Amino acid sequence: MNDMTLEDLNAFNIEWLRSWTAKDIARIAAMYAEDCSYKDGANTMGLSGRTMLVAYIEKLFPAVPDWIYTPDEIWPVEGGFCARWFLDMGGKKLRGFELVLLRGREIVANEVYTHEL
């Protein structure tokens, strides 16, 4: 169980999405636990650990246009939150939904689901 308030979770989510928008790999990495798990549409079997996540985004970011994440809503769940956001990928627009589980203030599990708008 995580002891963050709804306000804390919302602030964490906003900072996290700003880090992805800025493509700030060091800041993103610092938000994930060393033993985290990460899944998205390109990694359906999942990535295990911060090192694998960083290797993935180091290859991903140079290959994609500027992305702008806009937070929409969050819902607290036991151990973290679910979040909905919008993403402008330089003309292509997506809506995303994430499950984020936390240990303290580090992400231990992150699952990303998206669809085009």
**Is residue 40 situated within a structural domain?**
yes
Domain harbouring 58, CATH code: 3.10.450.50
CA distance 67 to 102: 25
For the chain, residues with pLDDT lower than 50 are 1
pLDDT of residue 2: 67
pLDDT, tens only, 3-25: 889 999 999 999 999 999 999 99
Domain range enclosing 98: 6-116
Q: Please answer whether residues 75 and 4 qualify as being in contact, where contact means their C-beta atoms are separated by less than 8 angstroms.
A: no
**Is residue 23 situated within a structural domain?**
yes
**Is residue 92 situated within a structural domain?**
yes
**Is residue 89 situated within a structural domain?**
yes
pLDDT of residue 90: 86
**Is residue 61 situated within a structural domain?**
yes
**Is residue 1 situated within a structural domain?**
no
pLDDT of residue 3: 82
For residues 90, 94, 97, 98, the Cα torsion angle rounded to the nearest 10 degrees is -30
**Is residue 47 situated within a structural domain?**
yes
CA distance 30 to 50: 9
- Looking at the 3D structure of the chain, how many domains does it have? 1
pLDDT of residue 11: 95
**Is residue 90 situated within a structural domain?**
yes
